[in-house]
Structure 1
């Protein structure tokens, strides 16, 4: 699956997670709309105030007072809307994050032992903790800045069109420059953030393994190899982080440079139109204010895009965990083993963890009630594997295992495992 389709799939999953918070999303949108409308209305009021100042002794203080009160009321509405919107956005973000983390943890309980054996515990912890935190940060930025930014761009264009279509045309023609710059850089950050997130998981896994197995490391004098392994992962993490930071740091200054060009062109065009009487001084002031407000969301969005790329990469890793196949379900007609009588039989059992590396071949064992059997052998000969097969943490590749005369595949896993008393070697 290529990068674009993977990113699009992750985005659809994120939007799907928002379904449960749909009413809050709508409310946040309405508050953002009120905030943007109020913010864009203030420059119009300021422009009217400027037009009221005709010259010395000709200032309409009454009109200025009324306009000042309107500005104050509008600013109050904007402040209240933004405050409520921030509260709601935080609630949406952390509710979604909680649900995703709960899904991941609940699904973890259903994963087969083969998945847990194949993936270091530190990597799984990194996905559930670190990646979900990064996802939450990106989602919150998306609501607080991306949401408002898009509305601001659309609203500003509408207000500018109502003032003068010629100056607006200059803005529209130059806008693709800013979009192209942001797009060009953002497409190069996704891969680096994904590699960064993956390598961070490897580092967390290695540190966790070293802490759990420090006695073994010291007993076999493997300290130097452990440090070398950490240095190798740490070096890759540094490389990917620097590259991701380099590309993401380009976005904001490049878009600011392009937007400065847009502002200069708007100022020049507006001045020419004002000289010919096509627009008042107050109207030009409004337009210049809008040119700034039009450019600001692009700067904000360009900064948010890199964070969103990182958030999408982290969300993809969490969803990969959630999408892992669960342990094979019990057969529909599986029986419950209430009390085992002690008979255990392995008949021509064959098993391999890796398809081309057989571990157990045609093993036959019969244990009668009351017998005690000790299985001894060197590390890696299959002692733990036999326990895994008996308790159906893994299924055999050939042959069958019977407990109390019944095939264990015909029994529910829960009832089968309840009849075993397992004492782990770490106990």
Structure 2
């Protein structure tokens, strides 16, 4: 029941958009809300909104932060403990050079007396001096075992934290996909008319996949890196405030470099994913209509268009990766510069006895572990920028204006009869171009109403309004006396069956495709619908009968057989109101007779709206509406309208002009009765 009908006006608008923009962009401003922006939103708000997706799992997030905090704290103790082992080894080497009967103080005084002031200062600052004994390997072993235990526990906690983050991210992305899917169901038809399908698919698939990848690869590392920076900074101040201040000079430099480069790469990443959507759109259009592309010789044009967009994608991708890739080497340069300064100053302080060599070693480790997270964050900048750019595109879909919600206390159609009434209805796709104005029409239950007229007259718009694919601008439409806006869309559309000009079947068995109209249908119901619509005739010629599996394009059955299946699907739904959109225009004459008979069976005791282009197919309609420019200019039976010699008679004569000319040339001179000849 939810199949959509594309109006002639929309088709013409899409053709204009395709000619103008290649990617079918355009339309009024309110219809362009879902398209990619040339400039991104601010990185901060978008990133915060992206992280907000994990709010429902905040308990797990806090647990992951706790594990990360303990893990980083244990890691931060490691260099200090290893520095103690270095001090033990270094002190042991000095101890071995001192005679056993000489104390540490005496050795220091002796060195000063010999002019070895720096060595004396170093020896005076040392702990664990044991004259004549050498290195205490037992103490060194105990220190190393303690460091090993700390690092082992830290690694286990880090692994646990990473596992929790992966679970949280996957759950958040699952919810995002669910929300996008639900959002698509609440968007008005005008939104989809303004979006190339490939572009929208790219947002729903590629962009969400990129968000998942970006979060999984960066979130855990970002959390650990932030805590590591804080822990290392605290330990650096604990070991040596002077060296810590020197190391802090590199922070504003690092932040400045990251901000400067990141701001320029973000624009490139937005362009990259915009171009990705355009490439997908072109590929989807080209493969969907590849037969038309070949028939009309447009392969070179399509190829050139693809080449141009593909080059834009290549240039944007290269620019994004190259610019964001500059962050890593720049940060490494700053880190190495910081390392050299700390090594020089630390060496001087060891020589003066202000620090032990173990503390210098620990501080150098801290400084490397301090700059390493900053470097890692910088190296992940391209992933973060790419993920946020994709998130912005998905958020644009989630923020698009939705269709009018169903009423809070809706009425319900229980046993509808199919009386449809248009009461002073007005509608336009754009405010400056009215289409339907002050239309009044009443269709009684069981009547068959045919709607004819030139392209763009508003025929399909009329039935789209009944389906509430669009909302009326003025007046109202009632079904059995109830305003359709007082009903839920599901309740309204469950009473309506449709057979479109373009058949739609899904990959599955013939039985499943028929039962799609009523999922709870029994086997007997399916067979009854198949017999009534002549599906049963060709099914028995198939190898698996009703269990024959149709592929995604239903290429293993003919076009007429596809159409009969769609009629069977509408038949089994047992609708009160039936909409037929030129269901026989794409089939052969023999199959057309079967389809018409099937539709005649389907229309029995139902109110039917038939959009007709072949005027010969609507002779038996109870009422024919002739539309021009959104107005009903004539209405009546087939014979009455021909006798009037008005708009319908002119359409009928124009449709048979070719046949009249051929008959006249053959000398037959046959003219359909009732057709005026001028």
TM-score in terms of structure 1 length: 0.93
Secondary structure of 1:373 counterpart: strand
Q: Could you tell me how far 1:108 is from its partner in structure 2?
A: 1.4
- Alignment of 1:159 onto 2:195: no
1-structure distance, mates of 2:161, 2:152 = 14
Match of 1:224 in 2: 300
Q: Could you tell me how far 1:149 is from its partner in structure 2?
A: 0.9
Q: Could you tell me how far 1:6 is from its partner in structure 2?
A: 3.8
Q: Is the CA contact 1:331–1:410 (under 8 Å) kept in the aligned structure 2? A: yes
Q: Could you tell me how far 1:260 is from its partner in structure 2?
A: 0.9
Note the alpha carbon deviations across 1:366-412, whole angstroms, 9 max, x for none.
43333323334455443332221111110123443333344333433
Match of 1:423 in 2: 499
Note the alpha carbon deviations across 1:280-308, whole angstroms, 9 max, x for none.
11111111111211111111010122211
Q: Could you tell me how far 1:364 is from its partner in structure 2?
A: 4.6
Secondary structure of 1:353 counterpart: coil
Q: CA 1:364 to 1:84, structure 2 compared with 1: closer, same or farther past 3 Å?
A: same
- Alignment of 1:12 onto 2:44: no
Query: Please, what is the CA RMSD of the aligned residues?
Result: 2.3
Q: Is the CA contact 2:40–2:266 (under 8 Å) kept in the aligned structure 1? A: no
Note the alpha carbon deviations across 1:250-273, whole angstroms, 9 max, x for none.
010011111111111111111111
Match of 2:479 in 1: 403
Pairing partner for 1:70 from 142, 146, 158: 146
2-structure distance, mates of 1:359, 1:223 = 37
Alignment of 1:9-88 (within 5 A): 9-53=45-89, 54=91, 55=93, 58-88=134-164
Q: Is the CA contact 1:31–1:82 (under 8 Å) kept in the aligned structure 2? A: yes
Q: Is the CA contact 1:339–1:419 (under 8 Å) kept in the aligned structure 2? A: no
Q: CA 1:379 to 1:324, structure 2 compared with 1: closer, same or farther past 3 Å?
A: same
1-structure distance, mates of 2:144, 2:42 = 52
TM-score in terms of structure 2 length: 0.60
- Which runs of 5 or more residues in structure 1 are unaligned? none
Alignment of 1:246-265 (within 5 A): 246-265=322-341
Alignment of 1:23-422 (within 5 A): 23-53=59-89, 54=91, 55=93, 58-332=134-408, 334-422=410-498
Q: Is the CA contact 1:338–1:415 (under 8 Å) kept in the aligned structure 2? A: no
Q: CA 1:350 to 1:228, structure 2 compared with 1: closer, same or farther past 3 Å?
A: farther
2-structure distance, mates of 1:141, 1:280 = 39
Q: Is the CA contact 1:122–1:201 (under 8 Å) kept in the aligned structure 2? A: yes
Note the alpha carbon deviations across 1:43-84, whole angstroms, 9 max, x for none.
112211111123156111111111121122112112211221
Secondary structure of 1:402 counterpart: strand
1-structure distance, mates of 2:297, 2:452 = 26
Find the structure with the greater CA-based Rg.
Answer: 2
Note the alpha carbon deviations across 1:123-177, whole angstroms, 9 max, x for none.
2222222111111122223322111111111111111111111111111123211
Q: CA 1:225 to 1:144, structure 2 compared with 1: closer, same or farther past 3 Å?
A: same
How many residues are paired up?
Answer: 427
Q: Is the CA contact 1:145–1:304 (under 8 Å) kept in the aligned structure 2? A: no
Q: CA 1:265 to 1:398, structure 2 compared with 1: closer, same or farther past 3 Å?
A: same
Q: Is the CA contact 1:104–1:322 (under 8 Å) kept in the aligned structure 2? A: yes
Q: Is the CA contact 1:135–1:311 (under 8 Å) kept in the aligned structure 2? A: yes
Q: Is the CA contact 1:346–1:366 (under 8 Å) kept in the aligned structure 2? A: yes
Q: Could you say which structure has the higher helix fraction?
A: 1
Q: Is the CA contact 1:35–1:82 (under 8 Å) kept in the aligned structure 2? A: yes
Match of 2:545 in 1: none
Q: CA 1:188 to 1:273, structure 2 compared with 1: closer, same or farther past 3 Å?
A: same
Q: Is the CA contact 1:252–1:303 (under 8 Å) kept in the aligned structure 2? A: yes
Q: Could you tell me how far 1:190 is from its partner in structure 2?
A: 1.5
Q: Could you tell me how far 1:182 is from its partner in structure 2?
A: 1.3
Q: CA 1:303 to 1:131, structure 2 compared with 1: closer, same or farther past 3 Å?
A: same
Note the alpha carbon deviations across 1:11-46, whole angstroms, 9 max, x for none.
332232222111111111122122212222221122
2-structure distance, mates of 1:217, 1:383 = 29
Q: Could you tell me how far 1:95 is from its partner in structure 2?
A: 0.9
1-structure distance, mates of 2:161, 2:487 = 54
Q: CA 1:122 to 1:370, structure 2 compared with 1: closer, same or farther past 3 Å?
A: same
User: Higher RCO, 1 or 2 (CA under 8 Å, sep at least 6)?
Assistant: 1
Q: Is the CA contact 2:269–2:385 (under 8 Å) kept in the aligned structure 1? A: yes
